[in-house]
Structure 1
């Protein structure tokens, strides 16, 4: 299920490896070999006990995918792909290679730039000099299944028109969306079943691209769930005998491909972002005068996934920072001052938390007298952890880790930077001040991991470190234990 981490771009917020012990690795084995840096600065593959698994050495290497493939490089920084027996599936070349592990199959994207000669009518003439540019930068792009060598994409395109990537959106365990195409994964094969998908939704639903009339489709049904949908920015409601129009709803600086409000022209029902999963009520059944006055000023409407609720936001112009006040309504038309909506978040364009806001998360004793909160980021997969910027007077902001369940700071807000390495296991990299190196920290055990510090630490364990000779070196570590994979 797609996590309900929502990207709100409202106008107010666009402030935007041959094996020695095992000759064959089956498709179901999880290859956990790790690149180990030798004294001569080459990499070999070892297991967690430092037993060498492959005979080859590489200038650079990445961990294996669960499907048994890894990216490696030579001294010329050319990249290739090997399997778990150390055989080259893709020989060294200057092309940029990326792997995507889909568990059933592995996708590789091969990207190589080159200069293409243009016909004379496409030459770029510089009227201020005699220079004529007769070529243009193109990209030779391939996306294919490694196991079967099946091509999903193969084309040459101008460099500035390349919008292809390996970002996938699963609809269920058999269907995924990649570069706007819907694919079926079956028997280690990938079959394209539909094109021009604009937006994936939860529960196997999706919205195809369209100029003005939209439909919501389901992978389990041949008929649309909803059709004849058009984008609107107004909602008409009835309160007792009074007609109320909510206008300029979910306005954005740049119009999204799928409007945030969709109206069913057959029934008049309105469905709203992010999942368009239930109709907004047409009539207010229960409310007080204060709530009705608030309702008339709202500019933001979101549907809370897997619940009967909608979130209504009114921009608060009295705040020194961009902020909203909140009201709620259920699908039956009852206005509410509060709701419980776990695992639902509204984010701004750069991933900062908008809802729930600081007033919902922080307790009165969380902040000292001269403290002010800044940006808030939810830690994905953690359920109740948030990174919060804290500003003390004229000092530069520092970061802390707030636990909304325990209502306490798990990590006091005194760090220059806190990098999330693994939200589920609650492993972080902490930097005390700008000149300091990063240390590993396990928030579950409340203990530092290892005794080393590093210039950088990546979630996959790749670190940069200065040795005793003040030279930069890079290698892998186990972020959970601090174990270094180097001689």
Structure 2
């Protein structure tokens, strides 16, 4: 028996690179660096930017995808398989996804097709995730189309431990070791919660034993006021049951730990309270813990349909009720990601909005100090968007835009659409200037833009979103 091996196209010593696809005059792509110097001789019908580790996904005239490295070698040849790359420290994950029809055993045939006979096959998805640098297989599954929940999204607990599809891995010497741990919820500072039916545990990645155990989900909070019991009931009731309850009670100590980080226990006794605050407590339905602080947020829903929001009261870990707190980088979001706390009453001063203006959805611009995208309805007009600066209490961008997209929150790069179905322009909020002079039908955060060509067909190419420089001949 004889074995032979083909020379590997994987090069773990490839230098960090930053190459971008440049569109040629024949509407194909070549790879160039930031100075527009060509780096590879090949042309591609479609191309994505290289990862810093030296890999890129390209496509041919049939819209089939392939994977290349920075030498131009094909690691994956063109096929109908969907490819995706996920950088992870010193390694790169490749996810492959291919749909196919699979014959079913006769007991799984679908006999109820409306007059169309018997369906003997079903759509399946072949999913594979592997480490490119070592060819280590992390996932290899063939699952029904409707049951495919696998992704290449990675969440880090520290610089050596990562969660992928609910599994905990340790990265060492470019090898990912799967630990015997499943994870339902990732917390801050290397903490996590494994799956459980009724009794939950909280772990720290540095310890083998749980830091909290025998925790059960509750929806009531029992407090003491002047030696008398005070119960808050129906707390944090969600329309859909969460994987981990938002209130976890330690049965051995009676301590209650609160979502989102469960890092500190609610006080068991209220030290001081006014009559109005006690009335407020009896109607509280939302309790959140403010991580990295001594505070808890208490919400009472305001059933005034003109307001349709929460009123707020605050509690510190020592049992003191407060009317205000000063915290940064903490937000309460609804189920689709829009802001609940801080609300508009905290963001706006009394006379900021015109009389006939009403605020709609609010979205925080992450990695900024105090910027928020806010929908405004002016009288009977269609809603428009603006960029509000909560620190200066002024509009950085007045609410006159049809749409504002965040391209880079930290650098405050946005794309602006002035009119419905109109073009987008690049805008730098730090310099308060438009970037470049062109407009586009769409602009993505990675620089991919779409515009109409001379034949009124969609044309895609890349730009530098920070300068407006186009990567095209």
2:14·2:54 contact (CA, 8 Å) conserved in 1? Answer: no
1:50 pairs with one of 27, 36, 39: 36
1:372·1:391 contact (CA, 8 Å) conserved in 2? Answer: yes
How high is the TM-score relative to the length of structure 2? Answer: 0.96
Paired with 1:363 and 1:60, the residues of 2 have a C-alpha distance of 50
SS of equivalent to 2:151: coil
Paired with 2:318 and 2:387, the residues of 1 have a C-alpha distance of 38
2:137 pairs with one of 148, 151, 170: 151
Paired with 1:375 and 1:305, the residues of 2 have a C-alpha distance of 24
Alignment partner, residue 3 of structure 2: none
Alignment partner, residue 381 of structure 1: 367
**Gap change, CA 1:132 and 1:104, over 3 Å in 2:** same
Paired with 1:349 and 1:396, the residues of 2 have a C-alpha distance of 24
Query: Comparing both chains, which one has the higher relative contact order based on Cα–Cα distances under 8 Å and sequence gaps of 6 or more?
Result: 1
Shift of 1:85: 1.0
Alignment partner, residue 50 of structure 2: 64
Over aligned residue pairs, what C-alpha RMSD do you find?
1.4
Shift of 1:128: 5.0
1:287 pairs with one of 242, 251, 273: 273
Greater mean alpha carbon deviation, residues 267-276 or residues 312-321:
312-321
Shift of 1:127: 6.8
1:466 pairs with one of 441, 452, 466: 452
Alignment partner, residue 312 of structure 2: 326
**Gap change, CA 1:28 and 1:276, over 3 Å in 2:** farther
Q: Is the aligned partner of 1:84 residue 2:70? A: yes
SS of equivalent to 1:195: strand
Shift of 1:381: 1.0
1:67·1:103 contact (CA, 8 Å) conserved in 2? Answer: no
Tell me the alpha carbon deviations over residues 74-115 of structure 1, each in whole angstroms, 9 at most, x when there is no partner: 111111111111111111110011110113110011000111
Alignment partner, residue 189 of structure 2: 203
1:27·1:68 contact (CA, 8 Å) conserved in 2? Answer: no
**Gap change, CA 1:133 and 1:50, over 3 Å in 2:** same
Q: When the two structures are aligned, how many residues end up with a matched partner?
A: 464
Paired with 1:368 and 1:351, the residues of 2 have a C-alpha distance of 26
Paired with 2:307 and 2:275, the residues of 1 have a C-alpha distance of 28
Q: Is the aligned partner of 1:457 residue 2:443? A: yes
Tell me the alpha carbon deviations over residues 255-278 of structure 1, each in whole angstroms, 9 at most, x when there is no partner: 101000000011110001000000
Alignment partner, residue 168 of structure 2: 182
**Gap change, CA 1:456 and 1:253, over 3 Å in 2:** same
Paired with 2:425 and 2:159, the residues of 1 have a C-alpha distance of 37
Q: Is the aligned partner of 1:336 residue 2:336? A: no
Paired with 1:453 and 1:411, the residues of 2 have a C-alpha distance of 18
1:81·1:89 contact (CA, 8 Å) conserved in 2? Answer: yes
Greater mean alpha carbon deviation, residues 321-330 or residues 144-153:
321-330
Where do residues 194-233 of structure 1 align in structure 2 (5 Å cutoff)?
194-233=180-219
Tell me the alpha carbon deviations over residues 145-167 of structure 1, each in whole angstroms, 9 at most, x when there is no partner: 01111011001111111110112
Alignment partner, residue 6 of structure 2: none
* Structure 1: stretches of 5+ with no match in the other structure: 1-23
1:31 pairs with one of 5, 17, 38: 17
1:66·1:103 contact (CA, 8 Å) conserved in 2? Answer: no
Shift of 1:31: 1.3
Shift of 1:469: 4.2
2:113·2:119 contact (CA, 8 Å) conserved in 1? Answer: no
How high is the TM-score relative to the length of structure 1? Answer: 0.93
Give 4+ residue runs of structure 1 displaced > 6 Å after superposition.
none
Paired with 1:51 and 1:366, the residues of 2 have a C-alpha distance of 51
SS of equivalent to 1:125: coil
1:477·1:484 contact (CA, 8 Å) conserved in 2? Answer: yes
2:284·2:300 contact (CA, 8 Å) conserved in 1? Answer: yes
SS of equivalent to 2:184: strand
Tell me the alpha carbon deviations over residues 215-253 of structure 1, each in whole angstroms, 9 at most, x when there is no partner: 001110111010000000000000002210000000011
Q: Is the aligned partner of 1:117 residue 2:86? A: no
Paired with 1:437 and 1:99, the residues of 2 have a C-alpha distance of 30
Paired with 2:241 and 2:443, the residues of 1 have a C-alpha distance of 37
SS of equivalent to 1:360: helix
